[in-house]
Chain A
Amino acid sequence: MHIDLTVLEKLEKLSHLRIAESKREEVIRQLSEIVSYVENLSELDTTHLDASFSTLEGGTPMREDIPVSDTTAAPSILSHAPMSMDGFFVVPAIIE
Chain B
Amino acid sequence: MITLKEALTKSKEELAEIKTEIEKLARESELNAYIGFESSGEGVPILIKDNIQVTDWPVTSGSKILQGYIAPYDATAITNLKKNGMMAFGRANMDEFAMGSTTESSYYGITKNPHDLNRVPGGSSGGSAAAVAGGIAIAALGSDTGGSIRQPAAYCGCVGFKPTYGMVSRYGLAAYASSLDQIGPITQNVEDAAILYDAISGHDPKDSTSAEHERVSIAANLDGNRKLRIAVIDNYIEAASEAIQKAYAETVKALESAGHTIVHKNMQNTKYDIATYYIVATAEAATNLARFDGVRYGRRAEGSNLSELYYNTRSEGFGEEVKRRILLGNFVLSSGYYDAYYLKAQKVRHLIRDEFGAIFDDVDLILSPVAPSVAPIIGSIHDPLDMYKSDMYTIAINLAGLPALSLPVGKDEETGMPIGLQLIGRAFDEQKVFDGAYSLEQTINYKN
Is B10 interfacial (CB-CB < 8 Å)?
no
Residues on B facing A (Cβ under 8 Å) = 68-70, 72-73, 165-166, 179, 205-206, 208-209, 211-212, 271-272, 274-276, 278-279, 286, 290, 293-300, 303-306, 308-311, 314-315, 318, 320, 323-324, 326-328, 330-332, 334, 340-341, 343-351, 353, 383-385, 388, 400-401, 427
Q: Is the CB of B315 within 8 A of A17?
A: yes
A33 contacts which of B69, B274, B385, B400 (Cβ < 8 Å)?
B385
Q: Is the CB of A82 within 8 A of B300?
A: yes
In the bound assembly, the distance between CA atoms of A91 and B318 in angstroms comes to 20
Given contacts A44-B348, A94-B306, contact A83 B327 (CB under 8 A): no
Q: Is the CB of A30 within 8 A of B324?
A: yes
**Minimum CB–CB distance for B199 against chain A, Å:** 23
Residues on A facing B (Cβ under 8 Å) = 3, 7-8, 10-12, 14-19, 23, 27, 30-31, 33-35, 37-44, 46, 49-56, 60-61, 63, 68, 70, 72-73, 76-77, 80-83, 89, 91-94
Q: Is the CB of A55 within 8 A of B347?
A: no
Residue of A nearest to B56 (CB): A76
Q: Is the CB of A34 within 8 A of B72?
A: no
Given contacts A51-B346, A82-B295, contact A14 B278 (CB under 8 A): no
Q: Is the CB of B348 within 8 A of A46?
A: yes
B343 contacts across to A, CB distance below 8 A: 51
Q: Is the CB of B275 within 8 A of A92?
A: no
Residue of B nearest to A50 (CB): B350
Residue of A nearest to B271 (CB): A40
Given contacts A11-B334, A17-B326, A82-B294, contact A41 B276 (CB under 8 A): yes
**Minimum CB–CB distance for B317 against chain A, Å:** 10
A46 contacts across to B, CB distance below 8 A: 344, 347-348, 350-351
Q: Is the CB of A91 within 8 A of B314?
A: no
Given contacts A17-B314, A77-B296, contact A42 B328 (CB under 8 A): no
A55 contacts which of B166, B279, B348 (Cβ < 8 Å)?
B166
In the bound assembly, the distance between CA atoms of A31 and B324 in angstroms comes to 8
In the bound assembly, the distance between CA atoms of A27 and B69 in angstroms comes to 29
In the bound assembly, the distance between CA atoms of A31 and B286 in angstroms comes to 15
Considering the complex of A and B, which 7 residue pairs feature the smallest CB-CB distances, nearest first?
Answer: A55-B401, A82-B300, A46-B347, A76-B72, A38-B275, A49-B347, A14-B330
In the bound assembly, the distance between CA atoms of A12 and B286 in angstroms comes to 12
Q: Return 17 A-B CB contacts under 8 Å, by A number.
A: A16-B310, A17-B327, A27-B324, A30-B384, A33-B385, A34-B385, A34-B388, A46-B347, A51-B343, A52-B346, A53-B179, A55-B401, A56-B211, A72-B72, A82-B295, A82-B298, A93-B305
In the bound assembly, the distance between CA atoms of A66 and B272 in angstroms comes to 42
**Minimum CB–CB distance for A87 against chain B, Å:** 13
Q: Is the CB of B297 within 8 A of A81?
A: yes
A15 contacts which of B69, B326, B349 (Cβ < 8 Å)?
B326
In the bound assembly, the distance between CA atoms of A54 and B178 in angstroms comes to 11
B206 contacts across to A, CB distance below 8 A: 68
Q: Is the CB of A92 within 8 A of B305?
A: yes
Residue of A nearest to B401 (CB): A55
Q: Is the CB of B311 within 8 A of A17?
A: yes
Given contacts A55-B165, A82-B300, 12 further A-B contacts (CB under 8 A): A11-B330, A17-B323, A18-B311, A30-B383, A37-B271, A38-B278, A51-B343, A51-B346, A53-B346, A55-B427, A76-B72, A80-B68
